[in-house]
Copies of this chain bind each other. A is one copy, B any other.
Amino acid sequence: MLTDVFDRYRSERPAPAATVDLDRALWARLESLGLTRLSTPEAAGGSGGTWLEAAALLSISAAAGAPIPVAEHDVLAAWLLAAAGLPHDGDLRTVCRPDPSGVAINVTWARDASAVVALWEDRDEWRVADVPVDRVVITEGRNLAGEPCDTVEFDLDDLEEGTVVDHEIGEQFHLRGALARSAQVVGAMERILEIVLVHAGEREQFGRPIGRFQAVQHLIADIAMETSLARAATDTAVARAAASDWRDPGMLFAVAVAKSCAGHAASVVVRGSHQVLGAIGTTLEHELHVLTRPILVRRSEFGSVHEWDETLATLAASAGRDRLWSLITTGRAGSRR
């Protein structure tokens, strides 16, 4: 079903452009199929799927370069509302973490949402507030991918009236966001591999398809391998999240591995795919940048690649010689011998 929806989207979508806007028709179609709140519990009006289904949707929609807020609306905002016991009317939401002055930057899709769900840390308490757009000030912007990416200014009163939630919600938000981004990055990289393979089989230079040249083969093998590694890392974290409903204490490590592998894979895949595609792949009309630009945005959201590497280095150093393997296999170092 998912595949059909996005195959159809890809065949009907507008030509690639420098900026992209929310595709409301696609969003409505997903809504009619129960896919816009895929991972929301049925009791809260969702489809009751697990992170396995959510991650599949994130990857497939990213592979299609579909401009829709799956991560923001469902995986993050709906989850926060449920965690806070707040109702969700099903209208489009985005999500952000305003700073102490009530300002949040880099809020994708804010201009398109009917309400913005804010996670706010105030004097050691975490609060969740569902704030209608008519109570916030939105300054429009665009990110590297040309997506709506706005600044949102809240009224501090609205944030202070938010519902107090557990501390772990605040920590999980970052992990859930990071893993959602990994699933999107990997999905887009898998589609890039397809594009590259087709091009290398068709494009001829010096009298034969460029895919016959060993140098091109190696570029493509590297794309395939790095994508596979990132897929394995991401699926491992997703499986652990689904099996434990994010309660597994090894989630931090698993998400960090996924984000690190996806982030470094992005360097290889973006560079390699553009190199194989040549000049044509840098043009506005080509599909490639509909995938490479979002990859670069997503790998740096919810923590830079460097930050996640640092997190892993800290965990590893603290685990040390005798407990590193336990960390690698289970995400937990266990107690020192």
Contacts and interface: CB of A to CB of B under 8 A. Distances in A.
Nearest to A218: B215
A325 interface: no
Contacts of A215: 214-215, 218
A200 to B, nearest CB: 14
A213 B215 CA distance: 9
Size class of A's contact patch?
A: under 10
A63 to B, nearest CB: 30
A297 to B, nearest CB: 25
Contacts of A213: 214
- The majority secondary structure among interface residues of chain A is helix
Contacts of A214: 213-215
Identical copies of this chain, number: 2
A218 B213 CA distance: 12
The 6 closest A-B pairs by CB, nearest first: A214-B214, A214-B215, A215-B218, A213-B214, A215-B215, A218-B218
A26 to B, nearest CB: 43
A210 to B, nearest CB: 12
A213, A214, A218: most-surrounded residue (chain B CB, <10 A): A214
Contacts of A218: 215, 218
Interface in A102-145: none
A213 B213 CA distance: 10
6 contacts: A213-B214, A214-B214, A214-B215, A215-B215, A215-B218, A218-B218
A125 B154 CA distance: 61
Interface in A205-221: 213-215, 218
Interface string A283-313: 0000000000000000000000000000000
A213 B214 CA distance: 8
A144 to B, nearest CB: 22
Interface in A169-219: 213-215, 218
A215 B213 CA distance: 9
Nearest to A216: B214
